[in-house]
Amino acid sequence: MTRPLIRTLPLAVLLLTAVSGCEFIEFDAPIDQPPGDITPGDGGGPRGPQPLYPFRPGSIWQYTVTQLNGAQSTKFVAIDKQPVMVGGIGAHQLDMAYPVRTSHTIGGPAYLLRWQQAVGDQVVNYREGTFDGFGQMVVDVNWDPQQLEVDQSSERTRVGVSWVESYKGDIRLISGMVSQVKRSETWKVVGQEMLTLPNIPTPFQTIVFQKSDMPLGPTDGGTIADGGMGPDAAKPPGDGGVRPPMLTGQTWGEAADGGVDSGGMLPKTLWYARGYGKVKEAGGGEPTEELSGLELK
């Protein structure tokens, strides 16, 4: 059910038939920003601001994906209801995390699977698998220490703050070949914006991040970084993450508009709204994703 969302938002509800039998909400009425979390038994007073990524098992996000040529498709991102052991070949194989599935239909086969967990103020990725049309994993990436999905701390949501995340990936291809690649991500909070999305009447109050993902090359002399066989290589065109953006000196507005400068590939821009999660992703020479439906458990 969708009790938390219905309680805080005056939304009209469109029920879609899905394999899970769940109700799915599309925004077709004005949206109120959600209040702070409520602590049971405390008289209903606010506890604090809503998280940027409400990491709730069973929740589903629907995005409209616009390709660079203007073609559009839909993708769904769903958090499993139960955690599982991460598995794989990495340092986190014995840890517990929630499978987060990206698919073209609600309840459909996932073409991208991430094992994620909330750790303090962060949501992190431990492992990522890419699947072909037959449901077979063709690329298996295991992050060490972990890959940051978003940092919701007060220190890293202030405009102007920046930091660097560095990690390595143990990559296993369908052929059985295993290699490693090092990556470094530069994050920066570039602003706050009242963001209006198509077919959603009221804008979202968002915090805007810019992320530059720099592959540093293989650690074992392999060809992962320069041979087109990195963790993004097998992703289908329908997903927003096709290839990693490179570091440039452009502003976040220019990155979102898809411009190019002499620095190379563009950074990616991410808009997060408290209580809703990621509502838009653009730039990096990749398709644009915009929130078009949501079910929060």
Contacts of 7 (CB under 8 A, 6+ apart): none
Confirm if 81 and 58 have CB atoms less than 8 A apart. yes
Q: Say which residue the tokens 């992320």 belong to.
A: 211
Rounded to two decimals, the pTM is 0.75
**Per-residue model confidence (pLDDT) at position 214:** 74
**pLDDT tier for residue 213 given thresholds of 50, 70 and 90:** confident
Q: Decide which of 27 and 113 is more confident.
A: 113
Question: Residue 181 carries which side chain, given as an amino acid letter?
Answer: V
Strand partners, 77: 61, 102
Nearest Cα neighbor of 223 from 213, 215, 212 is: 215
Going by pLDDT thresholds of 50, 70 and 90, the confidence category of residue 246 is very low
d(CA 87, CA 265): 33
Considering its fold, how many domains does the chain have in total?
1
237 pLDDT higher than 70: no
State the DSSP H helix or E strand holding residue 253, giving kind and residue range, or none if neither.
Answer: helix 252-257
Q: What is the pLDDT of residues 172-187, one digit of tens each?
A: 999 989 999 999 999 9
Question: Which CA distances in Å does 261 have to 197, 253, 281?
Answer: 27, 13, 20
pLDDT of the residue at 101: 97
**What is the signed CA dihedral for 219, 220, 221, 222, rounded to 10 degrees?**
-90
What is the pLDDT at residue 15? 25
Report residue 178: phi and psi, to 5°: -120, 135
CA dist., res. 252 & res. 295, Å (int): 29
Q: Any idea which residue has 């972990």 for tokens?
A: 146
Mean pLDDT of the chain: 76
- By the 10 Å C-beta count (0-12 exposed, 13-18 middle, 19+ buried), 239 is classed as buried
Q: Enumerate the β-bridge partners of residue 167.
A: 183
Phi then psi for residue 175, to 5 deg, are: -70, -15
Q: What is the pLDDT of residue 26?
A: 61
Q: Which residues constitute the domain of residue 61?
A: 3-295
